[in-house]
Amino acid sequence: MPVIDWCSNKAYRCPRCRHDTVASPSRWEVYTCCNCATRFARFPRLQRVLRHVGVTCEFCTKRHPVTIDGEPFGFLRRRHSGVGIHTEHQFEAWLYDTDEFADHRGGVRYRSTRASRAEAMADLAHWRSMFGPIEDDLSPVLAVVADEQFNRYGPDVTGEHRDALLDGTLEAYGVGILRAIAAPHPRRGQFYADTASFTWGLIAPSRLEGIYTSAAPKSLAPHAPQL
């Protein structure tokens, strides 16, 4: 695909689909849109001598770690599917690779792509249950996930919380239960996100995103549903 000129007034956007791609663009780099694969630069005619940096969208390239019982286990990465108004946000689940080939693909293993963050975390919980320290343990587990619906202004949020959300000092989380899928479902033995148990928009302490198989931290007690 040829390199085209960026938007003169909004250089951080893709000139074709208007998707936000890079936070602080440089005049001497070529960027690739993660949504429609368009390549663009300030001086497209100089593409042969400019540095091609590829996809730089923070949402797509940033890893969101997932811990299980406080230990690093995997991470999620947000991805885009579709173009323009038909764009969908999906979540890729990756597992930290513990095989003897530690350098293979950066030491990580792709697991799945799911429509929601909770479902992607459920796949990581299944992998840990089937092949981890507690084999075939399908008891319900508690999951704390970032609020994928961005519903940060619930009825119980105070004005102080709302101000803290706006300046970035508080995080919004969904707290809920991952349950095992029973037979005869084709995914029996795997986990699914029990959406009825998730409480979106509650304010939970930051850096507690993860899966808890036994007991949740005390700081989550006011937000976590009963198992």
Question: Residue 225 pLDDT > 90, yes or no?
Answer: no
The pLDDT confidence band at residue 122, using thresholds 50, 70 and 90, is very high
DSSP 129: H
- Single out the residue of 93, 115, 109 nearest to residue 211, CA to CA: 93
Mean pLDDT across 75-100: 70
* The residue type at 168: G
Q: Is the confidence at residue 10, as pLDDT, over 60?
A: yes
Q: In this structure, what DSSP letter does residue 219 have?
A: G
Whether the CB-CB separation of 218 and 187 falls below 8 Å is answered with no
**What pLDDT shows up at residue 54?**
84
User: Regarding predicted confidence, which is higher, 121 or 189?
Assistant: 121
* pTM exceeding 0.75: no
pLDDT of residue 227: 59
Q: Give the percent of the chain with pLDDT over 70.
A: 74
What span, in angstroms and rounded, lies between the C-alpha atoms of 128 and 187? 16
pLDDT band at 170 (very low <50, low <70, confident <90, very high): low
Question: Bridge-partner residues for 144, per DSSP?
Answer: 175, 210
Q: Which residues contact 170 (CB under 8 A, 6 or more apart)?
A: 161, 164, 203, 206
Model pLDDT, residue 106: 67
Q: Is the pLDDT of residue 65 over 80?
A: yes
Rounded Cα distance between 150 and 76, Å, is 17
Tokens 């694969």, residue?
Answer: 37
CA distances from 134 to 93, 125, 129, 138, 139 (A): 20, 11, 6, 9, 11
Does the pLDDT of residue 105 top 60, yes or no? no
With a CB cutoff of 8 Å and minimum separation 6, the contacts of 220 are 142, 144, 175, 204, 205, 208
* pLDDT over threshold 70, residue 82: no
- Write down the mean pLDDT value for the chain: 79
Calculate mean pLDDT across residues 180-190: 84
Amino acid 30: pLDDT: 92
Q: What is the pLDDT of residues 33-55, one digit of tens each?
A: 877 888 999 999 998 899 898 88
pLDDT exceeds 70 at position 149: no
Cβ neighbours around 179 below 10 Å, total = 17
Which of the four pLDDT bands, split at 50, 70 and 90, describes residue 174?
confident
